[in-house]
């Protein structure tokens, strides 16, 4: 990836250290010659080391109840079941979510077979389709309270295969220790940790055993953190720098930045995120109407915009998007 910055007088240069200056507001994707048509593009992406999703869109644990988690599963994305409830209630909701997914497997197979976002080789063979479905994440969040191991174990027993650690500051010994303990006690469970914003933090969580890492200020936190603590980050450069480190550990990156702009999501995915948490945009576009109808329409709208962004740089998938994208700094 090359980062292009306009200087004064205007001059295009390859940037290394200057990448620290790129944010959503001051950057734009550079269009390139392309041989790609929208029909050539698929959006399947790595979510954790072992799981993939059909679309790179995620609803985080913040206010994601059972109903919304089910709807995101129906759309072949991920809804992280929130932890603002007792262990018994959350594990019961995970059981309902798992059985809803299992009972509707034939419907999901049908959706996968007709879904234009999926690779052709997955759609050709029914066994491949079923194998893909079986690896879809069933994800729930935990807080770092005294009962986090008990909660994680109950969630796993009820169908959860990915634990999302809910922490506003992931570069923390408590988070690293929790990742290690969950991985030791529940070897088949994958763990998502974060949010972090530096290469050192990413390396720390990867070495602790994280299977995916969230990068950014967190959904709903950006303006609050900036206004109350002075803590803020340039989104594009943060994702680029952190994703480069995560790649050396083969750990996927999840963009976790509050935005209502689809273009920002495209930039974040191009910068190196494998998937993106879409809380603000999805929730703002599913108000006052049928969640089922509106959520699917919203996902379709975002997907079409993302496909156009990939086409503009000549990329067939998210992985190619990472390697082919260039940015230009705006004034």
Mean pLDDT of 160-168: 92
Q: What was the pLDDT predicted at 11?
A: 32
Residue 61 pLDDT exceeds 50: yes
pLDDT in tens, 1-35: 545 544 333 333 344 444 447 888 889 999 999 99
Residue 8 CB partners (closer than 8 Å, separation 6+): none
Q: 25-34, 110-119, 145-154: which has the minimum mean pLDDT?
A: 110-119
Residue 254 CB partners (closer than 8 Å, separation 6+): 47, 58, 192, 194, 212, 213, 214, 215, 273, 274, 275, 276, 277
Residue 122 pLDDT exceeds 80: no
Residue 318 pLDDT exceeds 80: yes
Mean pLDDT of 147-164: 96
pLDDT in tens, 255-312: 987 788 899 999 999 999 999 998 877 777 765 555 555 888 888 899 999 999 999 9
Question: Are the CB atoms for 247 and 279 separated by under 8 Å?
Answer: no
- CA end-to-end distance (rounded Å), the chain: 21
Mean pLDDT of 116-143: 71
Q: What was the pLDDT predicted at 10?
A: 35
Look up residue 66 and give its two tokens: 């059972």
Q: Determine what percent of the chain is predicted with pLDDT higher than 90.
A: 54
Cα 217 to Cα 181: distance, rounded to the nearest angstrom = 25
pLDDT in tens, 165-181: 988 889 999 999 999 99
The helix or strand, by DSSP H or E, that contains position 318, with its residue range, turns out to be helix 318-324
CATH 3.40.50.1220 given to domain 35-325: no
Q: What was the pLDDT predicted at 2?
A: 47
Question: Are the CB atoms for 214 and 171 separated by under 8 Å?
Answer: no
Q: 53-67, 99-113, 147-161, 289-303: which has the minimum mean pLDDT?
A: 99-113
16: number of Cβ within 10 Å: 8
pLDDT in tens, 210-246: 999 999 865 445 545 555 666 677 889 999 999 999 9
Enumerate the β-bridge partners of residue 52.
46
Q: Which of 2-6, 40-44, 116-120, 199-203 has the highest mean pLDDT?
A: 199-203
Residue 45 pLDDT exceeds 60: yes
Question: Are the CB atoms for 222 and 235 separated by under 8 Å?
Answer: no
Determine the 3-state secondary structure of 287 from DSSP: coil
Determine the 3-state secondary structure of 139 from DSSP: strand
Enumerate the β-bridge partners of residue 53.
45
Cα 184 to Cα 153: distance, rounded to the nearest angstrom = 12
Mean pLDDT of 127-148: 82
Determine the 3-state secondary structure of 245 from DSSP: helix
Q: What was the pLDDT predicted at 112?
A: 63
Domain boundaries, the chain: 35-325
- Sheet containing 275-277: order of strands: 78-79, 57-59, 275-277, 253-257, 212-218, 190-196, 162-165, 139-142
């Amino acid at each position: 990836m090359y980062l292009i910055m306009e200087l004064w007088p205007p001059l295009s240069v390859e940037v290394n250290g200057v990448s620290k200056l790129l944010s959503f507001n001051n950057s734009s994707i550079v269009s390139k010659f392309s041989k790609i048509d929208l029909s050539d593009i698929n959006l399947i992406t790595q979510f954790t080391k072992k799981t993939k999703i059909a679309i790179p869109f995620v609803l985080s644990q913040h206010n994601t109840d059972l109903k919304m988690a089910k709807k995101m599963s129906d759309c072949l994305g991920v809804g992280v079941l929130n932890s603002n409830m007792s262990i018994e209630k959350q594990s019961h909701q995970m059981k309902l979510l798992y059985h809803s997914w299992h009972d509707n497997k034939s419907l999901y197979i049908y959706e996968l077979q007709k879904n234009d976002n999926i690779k052709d080789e997955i759609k050709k063979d029914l066994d491949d389709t079923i194998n893909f479905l079986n690896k879809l994440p069933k994800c729930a969040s935990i807080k770092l309270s005294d009962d986090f191991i008990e909660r994680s174990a109950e969630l796993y027993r009820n169908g959860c295969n990915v634990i999302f650690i809910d922490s506003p500051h992931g570069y923390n010994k408590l988070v690293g220790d929790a990742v290690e303990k969950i991985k030791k006690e529940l070897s088949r469970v994958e763990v998502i940790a974060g949010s972090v914003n530096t290469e050192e933090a990413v390396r720390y969580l990867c070495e602790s055993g994280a299977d995916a890492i969230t990068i950014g200020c967190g959904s709903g936190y950006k303006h609050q953190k900036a206004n109350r603590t002075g803590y803020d980050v340039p989104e594009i450069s943060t994702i680029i720098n952190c994703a480069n480190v995560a790649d050396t550990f083969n750990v996927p990156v999840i963009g976790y930045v509050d935005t209502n702009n689809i273009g920002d999501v495209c930039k974040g995915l191009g910068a190196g995120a494998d998937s993106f948490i879409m809380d603000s945009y999805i929730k703002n576009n599913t108000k006052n109407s049928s969640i089922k109808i509106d959520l699917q329409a919203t996902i379709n709208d975002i997907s079409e915009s993302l496909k156009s962004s990939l086409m503009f740089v000549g990329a067939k998938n998210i992985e190619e998007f990472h390697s082919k994208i260039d940015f230009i700094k705006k004034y």
